[in-house]
């Protein structure tokens, strides 16, 4: 706990906080008595989380937020500043995935992924940035190994994460002189509902996971690593042995990793390619 004691009373904003990694992050920051504002579309679930933590002495405020809507993102930040007067940490966690070949996918699906994964990050960061700079705080993008190299069957997902990376890397360089910490957190496959809600070629949720969830990272493990990464001012946080190997291999053996990824993803049940 001691290395994290300075987190006490820090103001943390988390998007996509109604489930998965976002919910786990909320509970993880609550351990250190942070003041937390959580955003997502599912206000009922947000309220349940906040009520549970408020009853245990942690200040948590739920704000109904659709990150594809700029005014919702601005409102999330405005409500945070209204309640606490500052922002120390922004975690852009809201995200959606897909599973379809590009030749089959409706373009509206890719628009949806860009709106959530990329524009949601841009909107929230834009309005939080002045407060984060004042606090010499941290902005985090919860990304994926798909943001370091393309994943077959996930063209829109990889594209949105690549875009997020470019945005955050540029933000980091622009703010080298003012103490802003920017971290890209890239978990490997994690046992969340993102695969259940992943969009298929026509935009409908696939409704089931194509992978063995028991062999994945848990949201709690990912949350712990992200908080530690913030404390240690990490630049890129790549999680999972398979994630670290694939990102390294992409740099030194790109053709090999292309073939390995193809075979790996083709093994999924009902894979859109073989």
List active site positions: 157
What are the tokens at 180? 């802003």
- C-alpha dihedral sign at 86, 80, 23, 196: negative
What is the CA angle 209-159-108, rounded to 5? 75
- Report helix, strand or coil for 60: strand
- Pairing verdict, β 138-142 and 89-92: parallel
Q: Pick the closest to residue 239 from 165, 148, 153 (CA basis).
A: 148
198 Cβ contact partners less than 8 Å away, ≥ 6 residues apart = 96, 97, 98, 99, 205, 206
What is the CA angle 178-183-184, rounded to 5? 145
Question: What distance in Å separates the CA atoms of residue 131 and residue 147, rounded to the nearest whole number?
Answer: 27
Beta strands in 27-143 (DSSP E): 35-40, 60-64, 89-92, 138-142
What are the tokens at 212? 């063995």
């Amino acid at each position: 706990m001691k290395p994290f004691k300075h987190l006490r009373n820090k103001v943390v904003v988390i998007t996509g906080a109604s489930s998965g990694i976002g919910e786990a992050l909320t509970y993880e920051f609550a351990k250190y008595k942070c003041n937390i504002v959580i955003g997502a579309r599912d206000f009922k679930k947000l309220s349940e989380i906040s009520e549970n933590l408020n009853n245990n002495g942690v200040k948590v405020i739920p704000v109904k937020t659709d990150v594809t809507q700029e005014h919702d993102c601005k409102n999330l930040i405005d409500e945070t500043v209204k309640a606490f007067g500052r922002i120390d940490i922004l975690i852009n966690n809201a995200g959606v995935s897909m599973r379809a070949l590009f030749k089959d996918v409706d373009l509206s699906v890719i628009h949806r992924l860009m709106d959530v994964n990329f524009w949601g990050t841009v909107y929230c960061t834009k309005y939080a940035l002045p407060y984060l700079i004042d606090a010499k705080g941290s902005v985090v993008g919860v990304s994926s190994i798909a943001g370091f190299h393309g994943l077959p069957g996930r063209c829109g997902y990889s594209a949105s994460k690549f875009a997020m990376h470019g945005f955050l890397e540029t933000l980091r360089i622009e703010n080298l002189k003012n103490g802003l910490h920017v971290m890209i957190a890239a978990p490997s496959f994690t046992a969340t509902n993102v695969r259940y809600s992943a969009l298929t070629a026509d935009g409908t949720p696939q409704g089931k996971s194509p992978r063995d969830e028991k062999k994945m990272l848990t949201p709690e493990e990912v949350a712990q690593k992200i908080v530690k990464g913030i404390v240690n001012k990490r630049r890129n946080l790549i999680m999972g042995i398979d994630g670290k190997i694939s990102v390294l291999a992409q740099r030194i053996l790109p053709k090999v990793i292309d073939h390995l990824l193809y075979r790996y993803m083709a093994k999924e049940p009902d894979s859109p390619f073989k």
